[in-house]
Amino acid sequence: MKYGAVIVTRNDNYGNFLNERACYVLNCALSTLDEVILVDWNSDGVPLINDIKDNLLNTDKLKSVVVSQELHKEYNKNDPLAQTCTEVLARNVGLRRLESEFLISTNIDVIVPPRDLLDAYITDTRTFYTTGMRPVSLYDIRPMGGFKSDIRSNLLRLIHKYHQQPRASVCAGDDFSLVSNCGDFQMAHRNVWYAIRGFEESLNGRGWTDTNVQRKAKIYGFNIMVEWRLPVFHIGHDGGFGGTNKLNDMNYAVVGIKSTTNPDTWGFYGDDRLVIRTL
């Protein structure tokens, strides 16, 4: 089975030490997965990949898509309150261009599980998977040997040393909202993602987007599962509000949704301005 991930970012040092977090996260993903697409959304200057590429391994598996500031405005219909890094749109851009069988939606703070555990536990092509995430600090990671070291083995040892349990939130008190912290690790077979047409592109603010995508999976007849045995780590960072004053409507996103409103071209499929880049 082949696994691919879309990782979303913006080159704005969000949360501080963004470049450092990105190197750890991308190197772990590239050592585990068959392909990674990094979607750089609405950066002010050069894309993030330009600043960190010399610290990356296995770059033959890495592709990037740069969404310019002009496209950000166009895709968000010039909405001034849209997320500066519009996650639902960025994730769909990557999901639509991955070629693997199982597709992971995640971001630049999340360290994915080892390959053997993905092979062991991600087996059902009709299940939408998530998991709880274990918080870890850069201060824990930095002594582990640097960007090109096997930090994940050390992180797994931390679990056993401290008996650390994953965190998860149940935002709306229903099975649709069993998400991993802020929902930054979700995966399913490509047929599931394509059936539900990815993340709902009208939800361009903050909140309920990850719950919504699981709700859609349920509506379209798929299973939802929290696979606690997958060790996923979230690298802590300073907070913020993602560059928006807009909160999505929970009633629209979760309670009231009956089907997707995304077009067949979700993820801006066919827009030749979105160029796949390799290193």
Mind listing the pLDDT tens digit for each residue in 96-121? Answer: 999 999 999 999 999 999 999 999 99
Tell me the pairing of strands 232-235 and 110-111: antiparallel
Q: Tens of pLDDT along 196-240?
A: 999 999 999 988 898 899 999 999 999 998 888 888 888 887 765
C-alpha separations of 104 from 2, 34, 64, 197, 239 in Å: 11, 11, 15, 14, 24
Q: For the purposes of burial, counting CB atoms within 10 Å of the CB of 193, is it exposed (0-12), middle (13-18) or buried (19 or more)? A: buried
Residues 166-180, mean pLDDT to the nearest whole number: 49
Counting residues of the chain whose pLDDT is more than 70, the rounded percentage is 89
Q: What angle do CA 63, 67, 72 make, to 5 degrees?
A: 155
Q: Into how many domains does the chain fold? A: 1
Q: What is the model's pLDDT at position 165?
A: 58
Q: Per the confidence metrics, is the pTM higher than 0.75?
A: yes
Q: What is the model's pLDDT at position 239?
A: 67
Which secondary structure element, helix H or strand E, spans residue 116, and what is its range? helix 115-121
Q: Tens of pLDDT along 6-41?
A: 999 999 988 789 999 999 999 999 999 999 999 999
The token duo for 262 is 């995304």
Domain extent at residue 149: 3-278
Q: What is the C-alpha radius of gyration for the chain, rounded to an integer number of angstroms?
A: 17
Instruction: Return the DSSP state at 221.
Output: T
Q: What is the model's pLDDT at position 170?
A: 45
CATH number at residue 137: 3.90.550.10
Q: Of 93, 99, 100, which is closest to residue 42 (Cα–Cα)?
A: 93
Q: Of 177, 151, 142, 166, which is closest to residue 20 (Cα–Cα)?
A: 142
